[in-house]
Amino acid sequence: MSIGEFVVQCDLICHPDPMVGYRISSPEGVLAYLTDHEPALGLREFPAAPEWTSGYAVAIDADLLFHDCQYDDEEYLTRQGWGHSSLRQAFAFAELARVRELVTFHHDPARTDSGLDQRLEEAIQDLRPTFTVTAGYEGREFTLPLRSAPAGASLEQISGLPTARPRRAPKCDHDALTGPSQRESAPGMTPPSHATRIYIYGDW
């Protein structure tokens, strides 16, 4: 789907409920958004080959990757199959997909800001990623640099892999489950022609 200069693509990703990851491309760069994602599920070692990795076709060569990092390694051992990743797994996925910057996202809501900062700093020192790592938080702004990005290419063409077959998600009355939606819209800002700005609103 195209919206102005943006090409929006999606593919099913690993989660107990129907879930998709999004890839948004423009002449300025590529954003991949994969929250509620468990690419390590069922694998003895992670990461595995790209063709066995959920979300790879969505994230490959992205300039900016937003990815689930809810658990630490010990927590994940007792929560396999819940649809979320450990911080270590998020780093491994970003390395496999050759992204330029990882934004850690979907933090466990029980964590404190200082605890998240310490956890991320320790992971960077331990894993020494080859890409930039940034903590995501509400209101943070990102600007994608100008670069040459293919427009209109399918996920199969981008990744060289077949994508998941689409399936119909069950109907769900969101407001009946959670109450009326309280969605914020981005301020009426017009980004400069040479950059794409991305804002984080909500989530934990």
**DSSP string for residues in the chain:** -EETTEEEEEEE-S-SS--EEEEEEETTEEEEEE-S--TTTT-SSSS--GGGSTTHHHHTT-SEEEEE--B-HHHHHT-TTSS--BHHHHHHHHHHHT-SEEEEES--TTS-HHHHHHHHHHHHHHH--SSEEEE--TT-EEEEPP----SS--HHHHHSSPPPPP-PPPP--HHHHH-S-------S----TT-EEEE--S--
Which residues is 103 bridged to in the sheet? 66, 134
pLDDT in the model for residue 13: 94
Looking at 3.40.50.1000, 3.40.190.10, 3.60.15.10, 3.50.50.60, the CATH number of the domain 2-156+179-199 comes to 3.60.15.10
C-alpha separations of 24 from 21, 52, 72, 127, 170 in Å: 10, 23, 29, 28, 25
pLDDT in the model for residue 64: 96
- The domain ranges of the chain are 2-156+179-199
Give me the residues of the chain with pLDDT under 50, please: 148-149, 166-196, 201, 203-204
pLDDT in the model for residue 137: 84
pLDDT in the model for residue 188: 40
pTM: 0.73
User: Tens of pLDDT along 127-136?
Assistant: 999 999 998 8
pLDDT in the model for residue 146: 55
